[in-house]
Chain A
């Protein structure tokens, strides 16, 4: 079971990052739920989603204590940092978050996602960089399947496949 909260500004691909994880898990035959925050949200506002991945059916899709937090911006890190379970993982988008996580009981991974996305020549693919980092560090998803998932999701816009896979691979390559 991996309970993941992904949070950031609207427009950062927060909800779609959750969907990449959800689709990958589904294609592996796992159970999954993807629950977005919804409301009067807009580009520049805050957005988050809760994703549960498990081998058995998901009971509650609501996450109070996440195993993994993906924080795409500072307000999101501040909001959720203390809810992560001890021993859990926090992936921080260090392009937008200068601070270090003060907690010592969690694994923290800093990813300069926006800069790496530029290296992949797709400035909108910061979320794919994070996706790569998540797949590497969570160990809950198969890498090859995740790459195939990216191709499937962009099947109708094939010109975006290479740069998104590149962003994913660069994220995956990070320690």
Chain B
């Protein structure tokens, strides 16, 4: 087992980014994600990359816009209030179709809120926190290894679709240490800049332009349709979901990220007591695994679904849209930085069984 290393979720994301070819990091400090820029500040010079602690979050996201526009694998990370500041840049990046990765280690809100774990930025992440019609590929990892695995390939996806990929974690996921297997360094030596990259060279006769301004309505409408055609393709090809003990379940609990692990413990405890309970966990939050939820909703053994979140209820709206009224969808959540225990979830489910 010497090949495993013990890492924080934040550190695993940083190392996976480097191994996945990231060569530019721009960020501004905020708890609980500071290990990411800290790690990058040490590691990036070792691989010949760029690390800049910017003067603000707004500057950092616009540096990502610039670096990403040259075809470099660029990223930024922050936590909730900092991600809010980046929203204008994220919208521009989506409009200009610049691939990049944005990490949000969510803390409680609104406003400055607190620094403890939360999932209150779900809407912001999956519905588009900035202006305009856009989406990102949003991953909700539940372990340090999954942080590593999803981040490692995030840039490949970002470049495949020319979109920003968001890793949506929480303070708990950033701080927890678990053993991980490190993937090999991706060979970036043969990295060919994409044919849209404005890197100042190899232009030929055709000018390359990266922009999000389209004054002509017909032109912009075509861009809007083009973006959503990508999102449709992502829904078809990129959707990821885990189902646990749903085959005979009467109550199906649903959660994402670290909360899904607490839910899994609760499912095991309830199963030991003879209750037929299962779990469904979206790994991609956008595209949302609608088909999996439709299937669960159509199962005759399933009596109800319960969304369990560290918020006042956000993902539950996507669950309800997917379930489409076929089964009741209940909610249990904690917020403000408080985290439920498996025992709390067990008690909540037993209330439903009465």
A33-B178 in contact (CB<8A): yes
A36 contacts which of B2, B175, B178, B343 (Cβ < 8 Å)? B175
Q: How far is the CA of A35 from the CA of B265 in the complex (A)?
A: 16
B1-A60 in contact (CB<8A): no
Q: Nearest chain-B residue to A26 (Cβ)? A: B179
Q: How far is the CA of A42 from the CA of B31 in the complex (A)?
A: 15
Q: How far is the CA of A32 from the CA of B115 in the complex (A)?
A: 25
A26-B341 in contact (CB<8A): no
Cβ–Cβ < 8 Å partners of B265 in chain A: 59-60
B177 within 8 A of A: yes
| A67 CB, min distance to chain B CBs, angstroms | 14
B176 within 8 A of A: yes
Cβ–Cβ < 8 Å partners of A19 in chain B: 6, 177
Contact with B along A11-29 (1 / 0, CB 8 A): 0000000010011001111
Q: Nearest chain-B residue to A28 (Cβ)? A: B1
B43 within 8 A of A: no
Interface locus among B87-95, B199-207, B256-264, B317-325: B256-264
B32 within 8 A of A: yes
Known interface pairs A26-B179, A38-B32. Does A62 touch B262 (Cβ–Cβ under 8 Å)? yes
A155 within 8 A of B: no
Known interface pairs A27-B1, A28-B1, A60-B341. Does A33 touch B177 (Cβ–Cβ under 8 Å)? yes
A34-B268 in contact (CB<8A): no
B54 within 8 A of A: no
Interface positions, chain B 299-320, Cβ under 8 Å from A, are: none
Q: How far is the CA of A29 from the CA of B341 in the complex (A)?
A: 27
Known interface pairs A33-B177, A38-B32. Does A59 touch B261 (Cβ–Cβ under 8 Å)? yes
B62 within 8 A of A: no
Q: How far is the CA of A103 from the CA of B177 in the complex (A)?
A: 32
A38-B4 in contact (CB<8A): no
| A154 CB, min distance to chain B CBs, angstroms | 15
B342 within 8 A of A: yes
Q: Nearest chain-A residue to B117 (Cβ)? A: A38
A39-B264 in contact (CB<8A): no
**How many cross-chain pairs have Cβ atoms below 8 Å apart between A and B?**
65
Cβ–Cβ < 8 Å partners of B116 in chain A: 39
Contact with A along B317-354 (1 / 0, CB 8 A): 00000000000000000000001011110000000000
A87 within 8 A of B: no
A96 within 8 A of B: no
Known interface pairs A38-B115, A38-B171, A60-B341. Does A27 touch B264 (Cβ–Cβ under 8 Å)? no
Q: How far is the CA of A107 from the CA of B126 in the complex (A)?
A: 49
Interface size grouping (class) on chain A? 20 to 34
B172 within 8 A of A: yes
Interface positions, chain A 70-116, Cβ under 8 Å from B, are: none
B6 contacts which of A34, A60, A64 (Cβ < 8 Å)? A34
A62-B171 in contact (CB<8A): no
Cβ–Cβ < 8 Å partners of A64 in chain B: 341-344
Q: Nearest chain-B residue to A60 (Cβ)? A: B265
| A100 CB, min distance to chain B CBs, angstroms | 28
A65 within 8 A of B: yes
Cβ–Cβ < 8 Å partners of A23 in chain B: 6
Interface hub of B32, B178, B339 (most chain A Cβ within 10 A):
B178
Q: How far is the CA of A54 from the CA of B343 in the complex (A)?
A: 19
Q: Nearest chain-A residue to B2 (Cβ)? A: A27
A32-B179 in contact (CB<8A): yes
Q: Nearest chain-B residue to A40 (Cβ)? A: B115
Cβ–Cβ < 8 Å partners of B268 in chain A: 59
Q: Nearest chain-A residue to B144 (Cβ)? A: A33
Known interface pairs A28-B1, A34-B176, A35-B176. Does A62 touch B6 (Cβ–Cβ under 8 Å)? no
Identify the B interface with A (CB < 8 A): 1-2, 4, 6, 31-32, 115-116, 171-172, 175-179, 258, 261-262, 264-266, 268, 339, 341-344
Identify the A interface with B (CB < 8 A): 19, 22-23, 26-29, 31-36, 38-40, 58-62, 64-65
Supplied contacts A32-B178, A38-B171, A58-B178, 7 more A-B pairs, CB within 8 Å: A35-B175, A38-B31, A60-B261, A60-B342, A61-B258, A62-B339, A62-B342
15 contacts between A and B (CB under 8 A): A19-B6, A26-B4, A32-B178, A34-B177, A38-B31, A38-B115, A39-B115, A58-B178, A59-B265, A59-B268, A59-B342, A62-B262, A64-B341, A64-B343, A65-B343
List of 3 A-B pairs having minimum Cβ-Cβ separation, nearest first = A60-B265, A64-B341, A34-B177
